[in-house]
Amino acid sequence: MPLFYCARQSSIATKKEGAKLWHLSLKKVGRAIDLQMLAESIAEKSSLTQGDVHNVIRNLMTTMRQHLLNSRTVRLDGLGTFTMKARTRRKGVANEKDVNPNQVTALRCQFTPEYTRPAAIGTTRALLQGVEFEKWTGKVTDESENGGNTGGEGSDGDENENPLG
């Protein structure tokens, strides 16, 4: 199934031309896939029961959280790397000795998809390999992929981000 996109006009005009430029915006289709649905899908592809898969995923999340909150990076082979990032936007201090946790304005977990560098092809990211784009028409062509829901409400909000970079 492809990534659906539509055109979205910026609400801010450019400084040079004063024009409101158009950008590609990704569309979300159907409901979000929750832990239960993910466990069902994995159980169908393995010899494990849905409950076993659910238990493994929950334990993975608990263990990853424990390591991430102990200043560790978590790398899952074939998937990618998770690491904690802190932002101190507009809260810089003049002296190194004055740096403290009160400066943190946002704390987030950053995910970087695993990548490979085949000599002939260049860099490819595991989760983005084989991506296809399709212009959003308001209908999903293969309804089995999203549980029969059509839609496409919402956007990822990253209209200017390079999806393959």
Q: What does the pLDDT read at residue 143?
A: 43
> Is the Cβ–Cβ distance between 111 and 81 less than 8 Å?
yes
Regions of the chain with pLDDT less than 50: 143-165
Q: What does the pLDDT read at residue 155?
A: 40
Per the DSSP assignment, residues forming a β-bridge with 82 are 74, 111
Q: What does the pLDDT read at residue 42?
A: 95
Query: Is residue 123 classed as helix, strand or coil in its secondary structure?
Result: coil
Q: What does the pLDDT read at residue 123?
A: 54
Q: Which residue has the tokens 């200017």?
A: 160
DSSP-derived secondary structure letter, 85: E
pTM: 0.65
Q: pLDDT tens digit string along 72-101?
A: 999 998 889 999 999 998 888 989 999 999
Q: What does the pLDDT read at residue 124?
A: 61
